[in-house]
Chain A
């Protein structure tokens, strides 16, 4: 077997679309996106899956459709396969691939949303509702003031992988609840298409069997400054 994909389920829309565009038929293993809240758990789960793949399938390559994701990929190792992943801080970076305004966009206090993020049980608006139930309005307002202190607007990213107009009402409602503005930005799934097309140029890290992912694999990120919420 040549490739197996480990994919974050919050990117399901974009991954399905990118695989289709790349005519990719590789087997895919979905990883629970809620693990992003706990980087060490996400790391452990990824390593567990890699070890299982090594034992049971031993493909040439394991494709990780993840960004750096809060240190989660650092230390990962496959004993039999290349680990291949995009050079990206997080999925916002993935979706702003080659966007010449990325620095400006990411530095302007945007809290990014897609359909996947809006659907997540850990979405900002779902969390807000939970806090309201637990803490009441006054304390929830204090919490949100801290949480969103440096954000100016919710930014719905149109990645082209889902009907963005279907998400606009809930995004608007979320913005209204949290006293934020809503804006839209065009995103892209080109980085994912390249991952699934085996077009692994300098925008990808390839870690050979037996080697660990280190922070140095992300040194190129210095060229792509980022700012935003942890995803």
Chain B
């Protein structure tokens, strides 16, 4: 995909990116298409970083451009009225203070009319669990960059289990994570970028009735036949 806006972001030219976005808003381009192009630029900055062509500051700059662009855009109401929005919680977990990606994600969610609870950085599991109240499902985004954050994520999931709350929480890990970390933490999903986070959230939220049904099914099964293997529920969860 080639576009002037992608190039402006890739070149980290904030002023030009803002000018192009402003012009396209005036011309009636859709907010989603504009944001997708900016995200593509941000993704390419990430590729350059991985190739050693860009530095951390450049990654941060691309995030700052993303945040500035979002401020200019008004999303249509249909984007901000998901069926039965599910509560979303963001936290950089205990022992970690890296929150650049998390903050951009929260900004993006807010721009889309979803207002997640942002618990900040270095958040202990107990504080996270205080937000998991009532019976409604929750999508919990746990973010971390340093190694010890994985343990904190795992501890949070363990505490959810201990308190009988695991079944109503979809745990999504973000940051420097991969499939192996997801398995270690016993999370449900891992995501690598902001749009992926949002799209996953939208999917889960749109299927919230199914989530609730699965929740009821799991409760019934636990009551009548004990806990089934985790893999079974993973399938159910992925199906949801």
Instruction: Mark A residues whose CB is within 8 Å of B.
Output: 34, 37-41, 67-71, 74-75, 89-90, 107, 109, 122, 127, 130-131, 134-135, 139-140, 142-143, 146-147, 149-151, 214-216, 218-219, 221-222, 224-228, 230
Contact = CB atoms under 8 A, between A and B. Distances in A.
B121 A226 contact: no
Given A70-B176, A90-B147, A230-B146, A139 B14 contact: yes
A107 B99 CA distance: 15
16 contacts: A37-B52, A69-B147, A71-B178, A71-B180, A74-B180, A90-B147, A107-B95, A130-B57, A131-B55, A134-B57, A139-B61, A149-B99, A221-B147, A222-B151, A227-B148, A228-B146
A143 B67 CA distance: 13
Interface string B140-172: 000001111011000100000000000000000
B95 A225 contact: yes
B145 A215 contact: no
Interface residues of B, number: 32
A60 B150 CA distance: 31
A197 B220 CA distance: 57
Contacts of B122: 107, 150, 227
Contacts of A74: 180
Contacts of A75: 180
Interface in B70-119: 94-100
Interface in B162-216: 176, 178, 180-181, 184
B50 A143 contact: no
